[in-house]
Amino acid sequence: MLSAVERKIEQFVGELNDKEVVSLYRKLPQGKRLRAKLILKIAGTSLSAIKTAAVVEMIHAASLLHDDVIDDAYTRRSKPSLNALYGNKTAIMLGDILYSKGFFELNNISADIAKIVSNAVTQLSLGELKDVSLSKTFNSSREMYLDMIYQKTASLIEASAGAAAVLAGKPKETYMVYGRNLGLAFQMIDDLLDITSDAETLGKPVLHDFMEGKTTLPYIYLYEVLDEAGQQKLVSLHGKVLSSSEQNWIKVEMEEKKILMKCFSQAKELIEEAVELMNSHGETALSGIAMEMIERDF
């Protein structure tokens, strides 16, 4: 039924009566549609569920368009990003168009759904700002990292699950916990893949996050276990283009100190908690979505 969501997005974009926008939208690489899948699995395929899924995916696409401008990212899902192809101005405006049309349509669903989703978009934006601010210096605080990824990534997944539960008359809080755990684990795994994967699979250079200034969880844990000289070395490498021997040093230290395993276990714990919660509500299909999260290309 994901195709019904694709058609709904096409319809919403088509209603803007602008050929350039339709053609730009079609150039966006389609993602995994995780949020739409989640909504349909929880709420079924009523028109409201399909509309909610379409709006959430439009907002998500808008946020990535802006994120690629903010991060100076020239690839997205192994293809040139829209800012790389057409420049920042076009990417920002397409983001604004998708986002505002999404908001317009959100108001036609219900006030409850509009509140849940719009609150998450505020969180998303606050989280992105935190990500930018935290990237200016080496961040050694786990708490700040976790707060930031909650806002930047988990909030929209949490809201998707919560909104879908409301549509289906299911307990909102329970589904929001599930969505939150999934979102946190998703970002943790994403941050791990930046270290463990290869440039070809990632579609961007490895250790790109750290070179960009992002001190993700593995770097925070590594910092915690290094001696003083090691800590100084790690901090001195933050936000720089790294030579292959510097990259190698980081990777070897992380391997030796079992940092990657530790981060993976933490993400896995969140997923297992989510799976248990869903199993106890008889939602085994939702456990499947959660498991997909930790079974990504590692």
Q: Where do contacts with ligand FPP occur on this chain (CB under 6 A)?
A: 59, 62-63, 66-67, 71, 73, 95, 99, 121, 124-125, 128, 152-153, 190
Chain position whose Cβ is nearest to Mg ion: 71
Residue number with CB closer to Mg ion (135 or 287): 135
Is residue 71 near Mg ion by the rule CB under 5 A? yes
Least Cβ distance, residue 31 to ligand FPP (angstroms): 9
Residue 33 binding result from ligand FPP, Mg ion, none, given CB thresholds of 5 to 8 Å by partner type: none
Range in contact with Mg ion (rule: CB under 5 A) among 5-13, 62-70, 90-98, 275-283? 62-70
Is residue 131 near Mg ion by the rule CB under 5 A? no
Cβ-based neighbours of 272, under 8 Å, separated by 6 or more: none
User: From CA 257, how far away is CA 17, in angstroms rounded?
Assistant: 56
DSSP string, 4-63: HHHHHHHHHHHTT--HHHHHHHHHSPP---HHHHHHHHHH-S-HHHHHHHHHHHHHHHHH
Is residue 209 near Mg ion by the rule CB under 5 A? no
Is residue 67 near Mg ion by the rule CB under 5 A? yes
Residue 59 binding result from Mg ion, ligand FPP, none, given CB thresholds of 5 to 8 Å by partner type: ligand FPP
Q: Are 54 and 12 in contact (CB under 8 A)?
A: yes
Least Cβ distance, residue 294 to ligand FPP (angstroms): 17
Size of the site for Mg ion (CB under 5 A): 2
